[in-house]
């Protein structure tokens, strides 16, 4: 795994003031898995990236490409979701996009 991403995961955890144990509990992953990620021994999964984004509003552009801030504002995340949905013409694709959102994200988009 890219050692820079491993360092970023640790930086996120430390910025939030969590121990590995507490951080891993919030993400519902074993502490040993988090430790291996931070050490660069395990690769990030899509599920892990989604969890860290959903739980802590981590900016995926920052995590994966150094673009933007560590955390995204709630408003920018909502605007981005609305833009993605408005650009999509296929109803099936809109449903697929909507199914990937959390309950709180759906509420903020007035879907619930």
**Does one domain contain both 54 and 26?**
yes
Task: Supply the pLDDT for residue 68.
Answer: 86
Which residues touch 68 (CB under 8 Å, ≥6 apart)? Answer: 59, 61, 62
| Alpha-carbon distance values, 101 to 78, 89, 96 (Å) | 11, 18, 9
- Domain with 41 in it: 3-65
- For 5-42, the pLDDT digits (tens) are 999 999 999 999 999 999 999 999 999 999 999 999 99
In the predicted model, what is the mean pLDDT of the chain?
A: 80
Same domain, 13 and 54: yes
Asked whether the beta carbons of 13 and 23 are under 8 A apart, the reply is yes
Here the tokens at position 75 are 């408003």
Task: Give the mean model confidence (pLDDT) for residues 46-75.
Answer: 86
Query: What does R_g of the chain's alpha carbons equal in angstroms?
Result: 15
Considering the entire predicted model, what is its pTM? 0.65
Instruction: Please check whether residues 29 and 79 belong to one and the same domain.
Output: no
What CATH number is associated with residue 50?
A: 1.10.260.40
Is residue 83 domain-shared with residue 37, that is, in the same domain? Answer: no
Checking if the pLDDT of 107 tops 70, the result is: no
Q: Are residues 58 and 11 in the same domain?
A: yes
Do 48 and 91 lie in a common domain?
Answer: no
In the chain, % of residues over pLDDT 70? 62
Please tell me what DSSP assigns to residue 100.
Answer: T
Same domain, 38 and 80: no
Condensed to tens digits (0 to 9), the pLDDT of residues 78-103 reads 566 666 666 666 666 556 555 555 56
């Amino acid at each position: 795994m890219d050692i820079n991403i491993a360092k970023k995961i640790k930086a996120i955890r430390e910025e939030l003031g969590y121990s590995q144990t507490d951080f891993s509990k919030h993400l519902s992953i074993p502490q040993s898995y988090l430790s291996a990620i931070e050490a660069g021994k395990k690769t990030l999964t899509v599920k892990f990236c989604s969890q860290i984004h959903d739980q802590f509003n981590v900016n995926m552009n920052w995590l994966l490409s150094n673009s933007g801030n560590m955390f995204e504002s709630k408003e920018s995340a909502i605007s981005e979701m609305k833009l993605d949905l408005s650009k999509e013409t296929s109803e099936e694709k809109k449903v697929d996009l909507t199914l990937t959102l959390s309950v709180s994200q759906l509420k903020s988009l007035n879907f619930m």
